[in-house]
Amino acid sequence: MLKGLGEDWVPGYKPAFNFQTSLIDAVARWLALNPAWLGRLPKTAAGLHETEPLWVGPAPTLSNQPLPQELEQMLHVARKFDVAGRDERNRALGRAGEERVLAHERATLKAAGREDLARKVRWVSEEDGDGAGYDIASFAPDGRSRLIEVKTTNGWERTPFFISRNELAVAEERRKEWCLFRLYRFSREPKAFELHPPLDAHVSLTPTTFQASFH
C-alpha cells in the first residue's frame, strides 16, 4: 500500500498487495498529519557535485511488470490519492532531483574523460526559469546534445507522473536530443531510467486539464 502511495515500504518486509482498503485510509490520514514525511530528501546534499553517477536501468515495460492484480491495486491507490500531483507540487523534491541529475551528468562525462563537456552542463530551470521544456542541458560523451526533463519520486519506478503540454511539444520537436530522466526511490536509494520520444510508445498519456475560453 505504501508502494502505491509512492512511498518507501518497510525494509525487510516484502510489499503485499492483498490488503484491506481501510488500511489505505488509515495510512493516508497519518501522512496528512505528518507532511514532513512526504517532503523528506536523501542525505546527499554535502559534496553533491562530486557524487558518483546514478544507477540507470531499464524502463518499466510489459515484460517486467508485476502480476496484473498487484499492478492494478498499486495504480488504483496512486490514482485515488493523486500521487503524481503530490510529487508535482513538491517543489523541494523536484529541485533536489534536478540537482542530483545535474551531478550525475557531470560525473558521467568526467568518467568518460570529457571534463570539457562536464563544465558546460547547465541547470536550465534554475538559471533561466521554467519554460524551456527541459531542466538540464547536457551532452553525450561524443558531444551530442542532451536535453533532460527530470521527474522525481520517492516511490517505485511505476509511480505515475505529470508532464506538461510544453514539455511534450519540445520532446516532439527535438526528438534526437530530448529525454525524460525518471528518478525514483529518491529518499532511500535513488535509481533511474530514461524515456526517449515518442513518449506514447512508453506510457499512456491522459489529458487531465482543459483550457476554457470565451467565444
174: in domain: yes
Using CA atoms, how far residue 192 sits from 21, 22, 41, 65, in Å, is: 30, 32, 16, 16
**Is 10 a member of any domain?**
no
Could you give the strand order of the β-sheet that contains 136-139, starting from the edge strand earlier in sequence?
Answer: 55-56, 191-195, 178-184, 145-152, 136-139, 122-123
Is residue 40, in this structure, part of any structural domain at all?
no
DSSP secondary structure string for all residues of 4-68:
TTT-PPPTTS---S---HHHHHHHHHHHHH-HHHHT---S--TTGGGPPPPEE-PPP-GGG---H
pLDDT values of the chain reduced to their tens digit, one per residue, 215 residues: 566 666 665 656 665 656 566 777 777 788 778 877 666 666 554 445 457 899 999 999 877 777 676 777 777 777 777 778 888 888 989 999 999 999 999 999 999 999 999 999 999 999 999 999 999 999 999 999 999 999 999 888 988 899 999 999 999 999 999 999 999 989 888 999 999 999 999 999 988 877 786 87
Dist CA 115 CA 136 (whole Å): 17
**With a threshold of 0.75, does the pTM exceed it?**
yes
Whether 92 is in a domain gets the answer yes
Helix H or strand E encompassing 100 = helix 91-111
Range of the domain at 69: 21-35+54-201
Q: Is residue 48 part of a domain?
A: no
Which one-letter DSSP state was computed for residue 142?
T
DSSP 157: T
Q: Tell me, yes or no, whether 120 lies in a domain.
A: yes
- For the record, the C-alpha cell of 75 comes out as 495504480
